[in-house]
Structure 1
Amino acid sequence: MVGKIGRHRVPVALALLAVAVAAALVLPSLGKPDKIAGKPGGPDRPVPVVVAQAARKDVPIYLDALGTVQAYNTVTVRSRVDGELVEVLFKEGQDVKAGDVLAQIDPRTYRAQYQQAQAARDKDFAQLEAARRDLARYVSLGDRVTGQSVDTQRALVRQLEATVRLDEAAISNAKTMLSYTVITAPIDGRAGIRLVDRGNQVRASDATGLVTLTQVQPISVIFTLPQQSLPAITDRLREDGRLSVLALRPETRALVDTGELELVDNQIDQTTGTIKLKAVMPNAERRLWPGGFVNVRLLLSVRQGGLVIPSPAVQRGPQGSYVFVVKPDRTVEMRPVAVATVEADQVLLDAGVEEGETVVVDGVAKLAQGSRVVFGGEAGGGKGNGGPGKEPEGRGAAQ
Structure 2
Amino acid sequence: MVFDQKKFQKLVKKSTPKVSKPVINSHRLLMFPIVLIALLTASCGSLPKESAEAQSRRPGGRNPGNSVTAVDVAIARTKALTNPADYIGNTTPFRTVSVRSQVEGRLIALNLDIGDTVKRGQVISQLDDVLLQTSLQQAEAEKATSQSEVARAKTQVSNAQAEVEKARLELLQAQSDSQRQQKLFKEGAISEQTAQQAKTTAQTSQKALQATIERVRTEKQAVEAAQGRVFAQQAIVKAAKERLSYSRLISPITGVVAEKITEPGNLLQPGNEVIKIADLSRIKVIVQVSELELGKIQVGQSVQVRLDAFPDQNIIGRVARISPTADPIARLIPVEVVIPNSGGKIGSGLLARVNFTTETPERVVVSEAAINSKARETQTEMNTGKIFIVQEQGGKTTVQERSVTLGKKADDKVEILSGLQPGERYIVRSSKSLKDGETVKLSILSEKKVDSK
- Percent identity between matched residues is 19
Cα contact 1:53–1:356 (8 A) shared by 2: no
- What is the Cα deviation at residue 184 of structure 1? 1.1
The separation in 2 between residues aligned to 1:114 and 1:104, in whole angstroms, is 18
One-letter code aligned to 1:355: S
- What is the Cα deviation at residue 83 of structure 1? 0.8
Of the structure 1 ranges 281-290 and 122-131, higher mean CA displacement relative to structure 2 is found in: 281-290
Cα contact 2:72–2:443 (8 A) shared by 1: no
**Secondary structure of 2:263's match?**
coil
Question: For 2:119, which of 82, 88, 97 is the aligned residue?
Answer: 97
- Paired position in structure 1 for 2:73: 50
**Secondary structure of 2:93's match?**
strand
- Paired position in structure 1 for 2:148: 126
Question: For 1:264, which of 308, 322, 344 is the aligned residue?
Answer: 322
**Secondary structure of 1:284's match?**
coil
**Pairwise CA RMSD of aligned residues?**
4.5
Q: Does 1:280 align with 2:338?
A: yes
CA-to-partner distance for each residue in 1:33-88, whole Å, 9 max, x for gaps? Answer: 979xxxxxxxx996733355587x99999663212101011112111111111111
Question: For 1:150, which of 210, 216, 224 is the aligned residue?
Answer: 216
The separation in 2 between residues aligned to 1:258 and 1:120, in whole angstroms, is 61
Q: Does 1:75 align with 2:145?
A: no
Number of aligned residue pairs: 320
Question: What are the within-5 Å matches in structure 2 for residues 1-399 of structure 1?
Answer: 48-51=71-74, 64-142=86-164, 143=167, 144=208, 146=211, 147-206=213-272, 209-234=273-298, 242-250=300-308, 253-255=311-313, 257-298=315-356, 300-303=358-361, 307-310=363-366, 325-326=386-387, 338-339=408-409, 349=415, 353-356=416-419, 362-363=428-429, 372-373=433-434, 379=440, 382=441
Cα contact 1:313–1:360 (8 A) shared by 2: no
The separation in 2 between residues aligned to 1:251 and 1:48, in whole angstroms, is 42
**Secondary structure of 2:106's match?**
strand
The separation in 2 between residues aligned to 1:199 and 1:97, in whole angstroms, is 24
Cα contact 2:88–2:354 (8 A) shared by 1: yes
- What is the Cα deviation at residue 179 of structure 1? 0.2
**Secondary structure of 1:152's match?**
helix
* Residues 128, 354 of structure 1: alpha-carbon distance in 2 compared, 3 angstrom cutoff: closer
* Residues 354, 187 of structure 1: alpha-carbon distance in 2 compared, 3 angstrom cutoff: closer
The separation in 2 between residues aligned to 1:312 and 1:101, in whole angstroms, is 67
**Secondary structure of 2:109's match?**
strand
CA-to-partner distance for each residue in 1:370-390, whole Å, 9 max, x for gaps? Answer: x61499x965xx4579xxxxx
CA-to-partner distance for each residue in 1:324-371, whole Å, 9 max, x for gaps? Answer: 8536998999x996348x9xxx9784xxx551159977449x8xxxx6
The separation in 1 between residues aligned to 2:267 and 2:64, in whole angstroms, is 95
Cα contact 2:309–2:351 (8 A) shared by 1: no
- Paired position in structure 1 for 2:22: none
The separation in 1 between residues aligned to 2:289 and 2:250, in whole angstroms, is 39
Cα contact 2:388–2:426 (8 A) shared by 1: no
CA-to-partner distance for each residue in 1:293-325, whole Å, 9 max, x for gaps? Answer: 11123352333xx5431468699xxxxxx9985
Of the structure 1 ranges 108-117 and 191-200, higher mean CA displacement relative to structure 2 is found in: 191-200
- Paired position in structure 1 for 2:177: none
TM-score for both structures, normalised by structure 2: 0.58
Cα contact 1:110–1:177 (8 A) shared by 2: yes
**Secondary structure of 2:262's match?**
coil
Of the structure 1 ranges 324-333 and 59-68, higher mean CA displacement relative to structure 2 is found in: 324-333
More strand by share: 1
**Secondary structure of 1:301's match?**
coil
One-letter code aligned to 1:262: A
The separation in 2 between residues aligned to 1:314 and 1:98, in whole angstroms, is 63
* Residues 113, 313 of structure 1: alpha-carbon distance in 2 compared, 3 angstrom cutoff: farther
The separation in 1 between residues aligned to 2:335 and 2:93, in whole angstroms, is 15
The separation in 2 between residues aligned to 1:324 and 1:251, in whole angstroms, is 44
**Secondary structure of 2:323's match?**
strand
- What is the Cα deviation at residue 92 of structure 1? 3.1
**Where does the alignment leave 5 or more consecutive residues of structure 2 unmatched?**
1-61, 168-207, 372-379, 390-398
**Secondary structure of 1:191's match?**
strand
**Where does the alignment leave 5 or more consecutive residues of structure 1 unmatched?**
1-31, 36-43, 316-321, 386-391
**Secondary structure of 2:358's match?**
strand
CA-to-partner distance for each residue in 1:101-133, whole Å, 9 max, x for gaps? Answer: 111000110011111111101101110111012
The separation in 2 between residues aligned to 1:58 and 1:336, in whole angstroms, is 14
- What is the Cα deviation at residue 248 of structure 1? 1.5
One-letter code aligned to 2:71: P
Cα contact 2:96–2:279 (8 A) shared by 1: yes
* Residues 354, 284 of structure 1: alpha-carbon distance in 2 compared, 3 angstrom cutoff: closer
Cα contact 2:320–2:337 (8 A) shared by 1: yes
Larger Rg: 2
- What is the Cα deviation at residue 141 of structure 1? 1.7
TM-score for both structures, normalised by structure 1: 0.65
* Residues 259, 269 of structure 1: alpha-carbon distance in 2 compared, 3 angstrom cutoff: same
